[in-house]
Amino acid sequence: MIKRLLIANRGEIAVRIIRACREMGIATIAVYSEADAGARHVQAADEAVAIGPARASDSYLSIPKVIEAARASRADAVHPGYGFLSENAAFAEACDQAGLVFVGPPAPVIARMGSKIEARRVVSAAGVPVVPGETPDDQSDQGLAAVIERVGLPALVKASAGGGGKGMRVVRDASEIDGAVQAARREAAAAFGDPTLYVERLIEKPRHIEVQVFGDAQGRVIHLFERDCSAQRRHQKVIEESPSPAVTPAQRSRITEAAVAAARAVGYRNAGTIEFLLDPAAGSFYFLEMNTRLQVEHPVTEQVLGIDLVRAQLLVADGQPLPWTPAALAPRGHAIEARVYAEDPAQGFLPQAGTLVRYQEPRWPGVRVDSGVGEGDEISVHYDPMIAKVIATAETRELAIARLASALREFAIDGVRTNVPFLVALLELPAFGAGQVDTGFLDREAAGIVATIKDTGDAAPAPAGNPPNAPPSWDPWDAPPASVRTTASPRAQAPQRRKASAAAGGALTAPMPATVVKVHVRAGDAVKKGDIVVVLEAMKMELPVRALGDATVAAVRCREGELVQADATLVEFA
């Protein structure tokens, strides 16, 4: 049996794995960056090993450092969690070569299913329908543009090596192609260490249905029913639930059978997820991708089935058979999960960084909270801004939704703004209650939902440079996420004065600590309102900073690769 497990991750998933190990009598070793020296997962583990600077590429994404930490701590197995190195075939191979048990599928399986084009080929050969698309051998801007033309608009440009909405852009018009390709490539490289992109046709208004699958070394592959992840914003999941309100019993049978067929076709082992797009009206579904790891939303399946997926992962990695049979598994009631983020919905969901001066999780019957933080902890600019996951379980979907909303109202967080009020407003929408949410619903309706939220003023103010009365349309992907500072005052101006200020000797400032990934202008350049001037990266997302008015660039005060602080001047205007 595995005796000493190194967890190659951080935050709530590391804490979740540690808890499963305690029940099983497995010693745990945490790894941590300089920014995480006092983090909860470090405190919870039996031992902890420092692996480098805050920047993920120099710590959590460094295969040599993680392997060395495992050797130094005498670990006999490694659990990758999700994100970071969890779907990195080279990491799984490095673990194998170092004599470490990798808690996940074999490296060749990760490689096959991690390649979008190979995954599509494999599942298509197994009879699973796929969305039209392709990955070009020519990964240049011109090569990807040619593929988009062949696939047809609207299209999705996606990172071949990852998911979670990172490295993904929608293209509806030919004029958007170059910008979408370049932005997706940068995000893919930053998030997954692989800039390879692929293109697929955009299916309008689908449901996002995923099936949890599990395989063991004895050749058994089973499904653990479906989760509905249609409530997502910018391809980032917000609410997940099981069973899906959109799936009929006949559809459930076809989708779960297809998921098992896909997993068997690749010889899958351990926990994985097959993702599909469902057209509820037509009843058709298409393979989207396979995640060769544990999902963020795995608690939904655990709660509705009464099982422990992490425990099963460890048993299967140890060579033992699956601890359940399909006949023994049946959904009981309904489970629903909300992701709580440090972000400000009123500022276009701009990620927030800061100290949790108050943090009190809800205590409610039928409610589970998975988190990796506590009061006094820091939400760092270097990592994903998720604070916690709140999962409610009840006899019916209606009661589960009401229970989750009630629990969220009791979630007391001060020090950073969060999306909790937005989550409550979403859960109480008639359309959500009726199960009428497709994957584009929040992109269409988010601004309207935000407008209904009353600002109680119980959260800390936004970081320096974020005007508190900025318009709801301020979105880090497609609207100006930066303030104007004039020579008359360094304080952000009201929205109605921005155009004049920007054109009359103002400056664009950073809305939060971030890394400059691209500078689009030079001194002397003329810019128009809405032009992208600088692209920042923070909390695993790109934030384009746009000109707030017609102006001429007087000076560029930042350089690519530089870490800038909140309110730092990026560009000055003449």
User: Tens digit of pLDDT for each residue in 135-176?
Assistant: 888 999 999 999 999 988 999 999 887 766 778 899 999 999
Q: Which CATH architecture has domain 4-103?
A: 3-Layer(aba) Sandwich (3.40)
CA distance 100 to 156: 38
In 243-383 the beta strands, taken as DSSP E runs, fall at 270-279, 284-291, 334-341, 343-344, 350-351, 354-355, 358-360, 367-371, 378-379
Q: What gap in Å lies between CA 514 and CA 381, rounded to an integer? A: 7
Rounded CA-CA distance 446/448 in Å is 5
Residue 488, C-beta contacts closer than 8 angstroms, at least 6 positions apart: none
Average per-residue pLDDT for the chain: 89
Q: Which CATH fold would you assign to the domain 132-201?
A: Dna Ligase; domain 1 (3.30.1490)
Q: In the prediction, which pLDDT does 505 show?
A: 56
Residue 299: pLDDT over 70: yes
- In Å, how far are 94, 104, 108, 130, 198 from 123, measured between CA atoms? 27, 20, 16, 8, 17
How wide is the angle at C-alpha 424 spanned by C-alphas 419 and 425, nearest 5°? 95
pTM for the structure as a whole: 0.80
Please check the confidence at residue 461 and state whether its pLDDT lies above 70.
no
Q: Give the model's pLDDT for residue 190.
A: 82
**% of the chain with per-residue pLDDT over 90:** 73
pLDDT of the residue at 347: 87
Determine which helix (DSSP H) or strand (DSSP E) holds 180, and give its type and residue range: helix 177-192
342 in Cβ contact with 352 (< 8 Å): yes
CATH architecture for the domain at 342-459: 2-Layer Sandwich (3.30)
Radius of gyration for the chain, computed over Cα atoms and rounded to the nearest angstrom? 23
CATH code of the region 205-332:
3.30.470.20
pLDDT digits (tens, 9 = 90+) for 67-105: 999 999 999 999 999 999 999 999 999 999 999 999 999
pLDDT of 319-336, one tens digit each?
Answer: 999 999 999 999 999 999
Residue 82 · residue 13 · CB < 8 Å: yes
Query: What tokens does 215 get?
Result: 């395989």
- 149 CB neighbour count, 10 Å cutoff: 13
pLDDT for the residue numbered 403: 98
| Structure tokens belonging to residue 94 | 């490095």
Dihedrals phi, psi of 306, to nearest 5 degrees:
70, 40
Q: What is the pLDDT of residue 405?
A: 98
Q: For strands 526-527 and 551-556, give the pairing.
A: antiparallel
Does the pLDDT of residue 437 top 90, yes or no?
A: yes
Each domain of the chain, given as residue ranges in start order, spans: 4-103, 132-201, 205-332, 342-459, 483-573
User: Residue 253, Cα to own-chain centre: how many angstroms?
Assistant: 28
Model pLDDT for residues 342-383, shown as the tens digit of each residue: 999 998 898 898 999 999 999 999 999 999 999 999 999 889
Residue 497 above 70 pLDDT? no
Kindly give, in sequence order, each residue whose CB lies less than 8 Å from that of residue 569, ignoring residues fewer than 6 positions away.
485, 507, 508, 509, 557, 558
Please tell me the predicted confidence (pLDDT) of residue 164: 65
Nearest to 275 by CA among 232, 213, 334: 213
Q: How confident is the model at residue 501 (pLDDT cuts 50, 70, 90)?
A: very low
- Strand 47-52 versus strand 27-33 pairing type: parallel
Whether the CB-CB separation of 165 and 232 falls below 8 Å is answered with yes
Which pLDDT score, from 0 to 100, does residue 542 have? 79
**Diameter of the chain measured on Cα atoms:** 72
Q: How confident is the model at residue 504 (pLDDT cuts 50, 70, 90)?
A: very low
Angstrom distance (rounded) from CA 305 to CA 249: 17
Question: Residue 80: is the preceding peptide bond cis (ω within 30°)?
Answer: no
Handedness of CA 374, 376, 382, 387 (dihedral sign): positive
The residue annotated as part of the active site, out of 185, 207, 293, 403, is 293
User: HSE-up of 425 (CA within 13 Å, CB side)?
Assistant: 17
Helix (H, G, I), strand (E, B) or coil at 500: helix
Amino acid at 239: I
Establish whether domains 342-459 and 483-573 are of one fold.
no
**C-beta pairs of 427-436 under 8 Å, 24+ apart in sequence:** 427/239, 427/338, 427/401, 432/231, 432/239, 432/401, 433/398, 433/401, 435/245, 435/246, 435/397
CATH number for 483-573: choose from 2.40.50.100, 1.10.10.10, 1.20.1740.10, 3.40.50.2300: 2.40.50.100
pLDDT tens digit sequence for 17-58: 999 999 999 999 999 999 999 999 999 999 999 999 998 999
Q: Give one DSSP letter per residue of 335-358, joined into a string.
A: EEEEEEESEEGGGTSEE--EE-SE
At residue 482 the predicted structure's pLDDT band, cuts being 50, 70 and 90, is: very low
Amino acid 227: pLDDT:
98
pLDDT value of residue 455: 66
User: Does the structure show a pLDDT above 60 at 534?
Assistant: yes
Residue 476 in this model has a pLDDT that exceeds 70: no
CA-closest candidate to residue 392, choices 363, 420, 430: 363
Question: Is the per-residue pLDDT at 510 higher than 80?
Answer: yes
Task: Please give the structure tokens belonging to residue 319.
Answer: 């060579």
pLDDT tens profile 168-214: 899 999 999 999 999 999 988 887 888 999 898 888 899 999 999 99
pLDDT score, position 133? 83
Residue type at 343 in one-letter notation: E
Instruction: State the average pLDDT over residues 491-501.
Output: 28
Looking at the DSSP assignment, which residues form a beta bridge with residue 30? 7, 48
pLDDT band at 282 (very low <50, low <70, confident <90, very high): confident
The answer to whether 293 is a known catalytic residue is yes
Q: How confident is the model at residue 506 (pLDDT cuts 50, 70, 90)?
A: confident
